Chains A and B, each alone.
Chain A
């Protein structure tokens, strides 16, 4: 066991898979010699060579096309999109091509591609770096979308993503990269995609969340406990497909739910979760399912992040509304 930050756990997972499978290729803008703008691929080119870990020209769409083409030659590409706000340049390669490869060829071809990309607010990035655009990906049939919130999950989920035989979007929250360390096994292990984790057990209220909002929700749960409320926190880990079983089991136990996301109210995936609960467990509900989200504006100018991004205070306020409905 070793104490690792999330970024170290990610590098470790990449190293593990580069070692395990010679078809794994890591590429993107500045991921080679430079080791990535966040050092996620630090040392990998040196260890595995320029043939396995390499830089590309600055063009996201081209990177997506490269991934499609390489997978047609039997490779297992792990490309990086430097910041997920740049996904618009490569939306066709992802949603229009990778996601559809197996389907459009009637199962003849597949695209075992894992796209890694950082996102998320709270670190005062310039425009189009921090936007939460996972909702766009979750709406594309053929994709799986994974968002880890801890070093341990990041490693196991990334190994699973790379081994998956269909395209996976692996979104890494920038604020979580180095915010805390955690025990991470040095040997390889996997965490199944599509399985949520109960990060804290409780009986009065379920908070369903993912990404940086997991930490905020845990903070809120602690505060609420001081006031006598027992709060369960579920980290979805995979937001497409959803772990309906775990969600519904928790809802049936607590009868009250808050869904928390960093994305704007009209974006993200919170509305999906509310709908699923509504269809499957309405008879268990003591109160309506409420959402904590960002406001429906463009992602804020960096100085306005603190007033714009949802945090534990917002979660506590909404939780109380649900608890006292």
Chain B
């Protein structure tokens, strides 16, 4: 059968039908009640407490980072408050052998994957030692070029597949990033090669000042997975359990050789885009802010854990104190990093012998540095 005209094919209806299928996946509602019993991952008490601990710790890390930035003791910093479930519950579903390709806002994930805090601070300040990832910690430094991490993740995943590893490549971008060509190429390559990759779009509603609606006419970002022919899911990004389950399931599919998944986490950043002079009051209303504050992942997870008698004020304060102390110590360690020299930078350019031009310049700067 061949359709007589385009209308008969129903392109408008097909789109509506597809968009209606992307319902939001949620397990824990705003009050901290399980609303989706079947999907409950039934994490152990230790795991639930550990996840909460990391979320509280990271909220404190964000507050301290903002304040250290204002004091001039940190440089580039992209606030994370509001995205704890999205960032940490997804990382919580990973294993050590999984490889994370973070964006510039995704420093918490690589910290919890093994990057020492002092190095995260050196990254912020702009010191090469911050990016010297310790051996066995499978992460890249935060990617500044939005989208580049997506095509690279397709490559890491293909590499794992070729090596026969039972691991995945996980990468993150924001809602704005889903408009990039590399976003599409990345998910499409991983789809074509059926590689073990998890692509996470943290839709925090704004790309600097540009609202999500200006990025695309698509109702969800998750549905963009259809263009690559890969499974995709829209998740409540303020719900740690839902994010955990979506990532865990995507990981399982990936290591079983079933290919990549695209996950959209619907979330919100409470702070500015970065600390480099962005003023969110220019593009956001306080009504929207407070509406999203009610959805706070910490509030609902705290309520959930309190009913299970797994969390109380005392525990929370202990985490806060620990975080503050470790942050203080990490900043001190970062302060102790030697000043960078031009000759250091030259040494990291090539693995083999320095080319002629660098060799010459090396001598020049060595001379300069000896004075």
Contact = CB atoms under 8 A, between A and B. Distances in A.
Residue with the highest number of chain B CB atoms closer than 10 Å, among A57, A62, A97: A62
Given A61-B181, A106-B129, A166 B352 contact: yes
B318 interface: no
Interface stretch (A65-73, A249-257, A294-302): A65-73
Contacts of B186: 62, 65
A26 B100 CA distance: 25
11 contacts: A62-B188, A65-B153, A66-B154, A66-B158, A67-B155, A69-B151, A71-B155, A72-B155, A73-B156, A105-B131, A108-B133
B152 A141 contact: no
Given A69-B157, A70-B158, A92-B145, A64 B151 contact: yes
Interface stretch (B62-70, B212-220, B265-273, B343-351): B343-351
A177 to B, nearest CB: 28
Interface of A: 25, 51, 56-57, 59, 61-62, 64-75, 92-93, 96-97, 102-110, 141-142, 144, 164-166, 194, 240-245
Interface stretch (B1-9, B25-33, B159-167): B159-167
B131 A96 contact: no
B151 A106 contact: no
Contact of B148 (A25, A97, A102, A107): A97
A243 to B, nearest CB: 7
Interface in B178-214: 181-182, 185-186, 188-189, 192
B283 interface: no
B244 interface: no
B169 A102 contact: no
Interface in B277-309: none
Given A65-B150, A65-B182, A93-B151, A103 B348 contact: yes
Contacts of A74: 159, 163
A56 B349 CA distance: 30
A72 B163 CA distance: 12
A178 B165 CA distance: 42
A72 B156 contact: yes
Contacts of B189: 56-57, 59, 62, 65-66
A97 B155 CA distance: 13
A102 B352 contact: no
Contact of A164 (B99, B151, B182, B352): B352
Given A61-B181, A69-B152, A97-B148, 12 more contacts: A62-B189, A67-B155, A68-B152, A72-B155, A73-B155, A73-B163, A92-B148, A93-B151, A103-B128, A105-B141, A109-B140, A194-B355
Interface residues of B, number: 42
B153 A69 contact: yes
A70 B356 contact: no
B132 interface: yes
B145 A97 contact: yes
A97 B356 contact: no
A70 B148 CA distance: 14
A71 B151 CA distance: 13
Interface string B119-160: 000000000110111000000110001001011111111111
Lowest 8 A-B CB distances belong to which pairs?
A: A69-B155, A65-B151, A73-B159, A241-B355, A62-B185, A69-B156, A106-B132, A165-B351
Contact of A68 (B141, B155, B192, B351): B155
Contact of B352 (A59, A72, A165): A165
Interface string B242-283: 000000000000000000000000000000000000000000
A51 B131 CA distance: 32
Contact of A57 (B99, B158, B192, B347): B192
B151 A66 contact: yes
Contacts of B181: 61
A137 to B, nearest CB: 14
Contact of B162 (A73, A104, A144): A73
A243 B163 CA distance: 39
A110 B351 contact: yes
A244 B355 CA distance: 11
Interface in B73-108: 99
Given A104-B131, A104-B141, A73 B357 contact: no
A107 B152 contact: no
Contacts of A240: 355
Contacts of B352: 164-166
Contacts of B131: 104-106, 108
Given A65-B148, A96-B148, A108-B132, A103 B154 contact: no
